């Protein structure tokens, strides 16, 4: 007799509870295989939500997510498709899976094979192994696209906890790969520690591949608009790709857009279910950093005190504060060579007053340098050059002055930007002062 969805859900919770109460993975896997042909992602997330509501510390969900994924591996139904568009070359999901295929080949066909040779005493392949491990570092672009783009849209729909957990694992994998490369390059490298480190890294990477493709992807296909996927695909080129050439641009077909309209009620239901699961995890973790993001269509913002830009929106007072905080002096000269704007930083290098606005910029310079300024502007206007750099000593300070030609998408000349910066302290920097080390002033 076929179970109802509620009965299935109850049994999944019971199997996961067995794990959390100290039961063996093998027993949980056996029970699941005997009783289920497959599950979908919503059943897994709902089961985890039920465990949290029953009193389980959500941190345990995070710790054991690899085990949960392993129990259901190979049995998750691939039914959450907003349309067949995800299989189209250029779709971010198609690109993600293609990268993972090449990555898996690197793990097993290349690195595993080289380690087998080393296990038999053939260290002549050491340099080839190091090169293969270095190739693993390309995974950074794969993870960065996921973290910067896919996670941003997940958060837009209120799905905040899964991205935070996955990002932390991504960072762990990055660090483990770097540590492994460093050890492999060591002249005193030994096989046993090397293969132990490798197995740990490989396992984490393969688990992340599974989570991306069987948990994150179905959830996002349920929730994202096709327009979201188009935006993600377009922005992906800014970050780059791992292991593959640049994919084709992605544009949803008319047919796919029509199907999306039909399934809109299902999409809204999926958003609500994903949000509820995230809310439960976030409350349980008691993490102030897991908070619902303010979501709005900023590109449609239209008020008198806002400035809508291609990459975001700023209130006028925010824009003024931004210019004041920049550690550089900015001056904008329009296409007619007249000064139209200057920024007001806390410590100005050269004095500026409002009387400069509207003046011909050459008249703001001493007579002996006016012809040089005019030549730079003429070169910018003609396209002979795009920037000009100068540096001078001003008392004990080293001042860096840069001029940039400003042009629109049609290459029409819009004017010149002057950027002036005191680089005295910058020239003394040495070593590193990393954010995570907590040495910021």
Asked if residue 195 lies in contact with residue 119, where contact means CB atoms within 8 angstroms, the answer is: yes
What confidence tier does 271 reach under pLDDT thresholds 50, 70, 90? confident
> Are 419 and 404 contacting, i.e. CB atoms less than 8 angstroms apart?
yes
Within 8 A by CB and 6+ apart from 94, the residues are 86, 87, 88, 247
| Mean per-residue pLDDT, 273-284 | 60
Q: What is the C-alpha separation between 226 and 232, in angstroms, rounded? A: 10
Q: In the chain, which residues fall in CATH 1.20.120.520?
A: 84-272
Q: Distance between CA atoms of 348 and 96, rounded to whole angstroms?
A: 47
CATH of 84-272, one of 3.10.180.10, 1.10.287.980, 3.40.50.300, 1.20.120.520: 1.20.120.520
Q: Which CATH number fits the domain 326-428, given the four candidates 3.30.450.20, 3.40.50.620, 3.40.50.280, 3.30.360.10? A: 3.30.450.20
Supply the pLDDT for residue 182. 95
112-170 tens-digit pLDDT: 999 999 999 999 999 999 999 999 999 999 999 999 999 988 888 888 777 877 888 89
Across the chain, mean pLDDT equals 81
Identify the pLDDT of residue 289: 38
Per-residue pLDDT, 350: 79
CA atoms of 429 and 289, how far apart (whole Å)? 32
Give the least confident one: 15-19, 197-201, 382-386, 434-438.
434-438
> Would you place residue 86 in the very low, low, confident or very high pLDDT band (cuts 50, 70, 90)?
confident
Note the pLDDT tens digit of each residue in 56-81: 655 555 455 555 555 555 555 544 44
Average pLDDT over residues 261-265: 82
The answer to whether 184 touches 198, Cβ cutoff 8 Å, is: no
- Measured CA to CA, the distance from residue 438 to residue 441 in angstroms comes to 9
**Residue with token string 């192994």:** 129
Residue 438: strand, helix, or coil: coil
Residues comprising the chain, all counted: 441
The conformation of residue 314, written as its DSSP 8-state character, comes to E
pLDDT in tens, 337-385: 999 998 887 777 877 777 778 888 888 777 788 888 899 999 999 999 9
Q: Enumerate the CATH 3.30.450.20 domain ranges in the chain, comma separated.
A: 326-428
pLDDT surpassing 70 at residue 281: no
Is the pLDDT at 12 greater than 80? The verdict is no
pLDDT surpassing 80 at residue 236: yes
Structure tokens of 24? Answer: 């063996």
């Amino acid at each position: 007799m076929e179970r109802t969805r509620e009965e299935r859900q109850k049994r999944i919770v019971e199997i996961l509870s067995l794990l959390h109460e100290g039961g063996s993975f093998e027993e949980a896997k056996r029970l699941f295989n005997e009783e289920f042909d497959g599950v979908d992602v919503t059943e897994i997330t709902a089961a985890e939500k039920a465990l949290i509501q029953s009193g389980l510390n959500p941190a345990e969900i995070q710790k054991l997510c690899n085990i949960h994924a392993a129990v259901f591996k190979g049995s998750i139904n691939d039914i959450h498709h907003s349309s067949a568009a995800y299989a189209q070359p250029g779709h971010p999901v198609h690109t993600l899976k293609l990268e993972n295929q090449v990555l898996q080949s690197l793990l097993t066909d290349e690195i595993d094979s080289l380690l087998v040779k080393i296990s038999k005493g053939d260290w002549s392949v050491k340099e080839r192994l190091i090169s293969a491990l270095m190739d693993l570092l390309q995974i950074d672009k794969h993870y960065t696209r996921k973290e910067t783009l896919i996670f941003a849209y997940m958060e837009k729909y209120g799905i905040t906890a899964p991205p935070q957990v996955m990002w932390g694992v991504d960072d762990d994998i990055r660090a483990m790969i770097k540590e492994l490369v460093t050890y492999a390059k060591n002249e005193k490298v030994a096989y046993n520690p090397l293969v132990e480190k490798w197995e740990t890294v490989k396992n984490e990477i393969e688990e992340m591949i599974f989570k991306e493709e069987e948990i994150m992807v179905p959830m996002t296909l349920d929730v994202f608009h096709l327009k979201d996927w188009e935006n993600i695909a377009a922005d992906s080129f800014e970050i780059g790709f791992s292991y593959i050439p640049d994919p084709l641009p992605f544009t949803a077909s008319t047919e796919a857009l029509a199907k999306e309209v039909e399934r809109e009620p299902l999409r809204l239901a999926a958003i609500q279910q994903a949000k509820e699961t995230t809310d439960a995890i976030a409350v349980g973790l008691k993490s102030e950093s897991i908070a619902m993001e303010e979501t709005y269509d900023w590109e449609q913002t239209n008020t008198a005190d806002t400035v809508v830009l291609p990459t975001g929106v700023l209130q006028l007072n925010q824009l003024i504060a931004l210019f004041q905080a920049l550690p550089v002096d900015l001056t904008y000269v329009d296409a007619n060579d007249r000064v139209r704007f200057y920024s007001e930083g806390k410590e100005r290098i050269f004095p500026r007053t409002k009387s400069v606005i509207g003046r011909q910029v050459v008249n703001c310079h001493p007579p002996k340098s006016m012809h040089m300024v005019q030549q730079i502007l003429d070169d910018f206007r003609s396209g002979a050059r795009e920037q000009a750099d100068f540096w001078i000593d001003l008392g004990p300070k080293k001042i860096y002055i840069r001029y940039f030609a400003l042009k629109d998408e049609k290459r029409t000349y819009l004017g010149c930007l002057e950027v002036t910066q005191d680089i005295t302290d910058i020239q003394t920097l040495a070593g590193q002062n990393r954010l995570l080390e907590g040495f910021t002033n």
